[in-house]
Amino acid sequence: MAVKFGTSGLRGLSSDLVGSVSALYATAFARFLLEGNLVSAGGCVVVARDFRQSSPEIAATVMAALTRAGLTPIDCGTIPTPALALYGAAIQAGGIMITGSHIPADRNGIKFYRPDGEIDKQDEQTIVALAASLEDDAEANRVERGSGANHEAEATDLFLARNFATLPEQALAGMRVGIYQHSTVARDMMVKVFEHFGATVFPLGRSEQFIPVDTEAVSEETVALLAGWTDELALDTIVSTDGDGDRPLVSDERGTPLRGDLLGLISARFLRASLVATPVTSNSGLEADGHFTVVRTRVGSPFVIAAMNEALAAGQTGVLGFEANGGLMLGSDFDTGTAVLKSLPTRDSFLPALAVLATARQTGQSLSALANAYRMPMALSDRLENFAVERSSALMAHLRQSTDNMTRFLAPLGGVKTVSDIDGLRITLDDGSVVHFRPSGNAPEMRCYVEAPSFEEAKTLLKGGLQLLDNWQS
């Protein structure tokens, strides 16, 4: 089967997910919920989708499969993933989000939620085993169009109410905020939220065609758009998200995107967190900040959530997590001073954007000045698309095979000082700079992350790292 679980959810080509595969996995998920006593027979599963061309058809197939399996689908329309998760938790329902997030438009995915939050890696294995056991079952693979009662308005209102309570009234008054709407399902909610706090909002770049926006590796074309709008409209910032609204993009007053892990750091300070769980790809400056304990994980929200749960089980309070893409997860409840935000252990793009803008407003700083005040190592990342999974697997095996292989491969960039193998290969070079090679968990892509003292040094290192990857032949 051409689909598989990646760092967050089931992913594959849209052509592979449309049809029997989505019916099969929805049936397997229904079995998982029922056999695990997570939802009773006849219980609810909330379903939402992004704006990809294939998403409505997949959602309809999924809802039909849920109905056949004895559950009640609730159609939440096109809302952000964190809004779906919040609503599912509120009504104690399972959840399915049809989205490929930031990956190319010819791909799609399915994210699964228990009533208490995202499924974990063990849950994934259970669902895969159930799907395998049902692969020859005609009923489980039957493709038909289903539907459910429409609760999009209720889910939207609940999520807006949570965000409206995050800051004091008029907390962003006087700020000029652009909202890059493109094709994200968060585009209209974002306008409402920032207008609610008194910002002058400029909706920008709305598209009826799906545009994949990767907030962890923002394209040069997107950066140019942001810079042009910022200059033309004298904006303080531009805010956006990926396709399903769980990863934030926040630019400064020059249109330069802020790193997602910096958004996470500022959010952790804003919320006065005690412990932060974050993947190995996040900036090494987090530990140097000293305001909280840092626990490093593999890449992917299930690993971050597992680390948060472990900390909570040990009695830790003030627990949150974030990824290098900026998606913020609350393991604990947090008091913002205006409200208590209940835990929401799934990626959210709204809270980090609000936390960063509120911090800038409170300190009287521009976004660029705020970013510079943290003095983190300069971190950049990018990816090579259409990098076959077989090729990336062969490269990683070659580098792990011997120290000599690693040394020869990295020689054009510098000598190897230390190597971390938590997720991919993160190499600290002799001069203290970092280069991290990691195959994508959900697409035929090879990612490269770097850290260096200055932007120019990081840019040079990133270019060199990508060139090494591109030139490598097995």
- Residues comprising the chain, all counted: 474
Q: pTM of the entire structure?
A: 0.89
Q: Alpha-carbon distance 357 to 362, whole Å?
A: 9
pLDDT of residue 381: 83
pLDDT of residue 5: 87
Which overall architecture, per CATH, does domain 175-373 show? Answer: 3-Layer(aba) Sandwich (3.40)
Q: How do residues 410-465 score in pLDDT, each as one tens digit?
A: 999 999 999 989 999 999 999 999 999 998 766 789 999 999 999 899 999 999 99
Return the HEC string of 116-171: CEECCHHHHHHHHHHHHHCCCCCCCCCCCCCCCEECHHHHHHHHHHHHHCCCCCCC
Q: What is the CA radius of gyration of the chain?
A: 22
Q: Which residues of 415-439 are buried (b: 16+ CB within 10 A; e: fewer)?
A: ebeeeeebbbbbbbbeeebbbbbbb
pLDDT of residue 382: 87
Output DSSP code: residue 257.
Answer: B
Identify the CATH class of 378-471: alpha beta
Asked if 4-152 and 378-471 have one fold, the answer is no
The two three-digit tokens of residue 221, written as one number = 């074309």
User: Which of the residues in the chain have pLDDT under 70?
Assistant: 1, 441-442
Reply yes or no on whether 55 is catalytic.
Answer: no
pLDDT of residue 442: 61
Q: Alpha-carbon distance 340 to 335, whole Å?
A: 4
pLDDT of residue 217: 80
For residue 212, the cross-strand partners are: none
Superfamily of domain 4-152: Alpha-D-Glucose-1,6-Bisphosphate, subunit A, domain 3 (3.40.120.10)
pLDDT of residue 441: 64
Q: Alpha-carbon distance 254 to 375, whole Å?
A: 19
* Catalytic, out of 101, 251, 267, 433: 101
Q: Provide the residue ranges of all domains of the chain, joining segments of one domain with +.
A: 4-152, 175-373, 378-471
* Alpha helical stretches, state H, 197-320: 220-233, 260-271, 285-289, 301-313
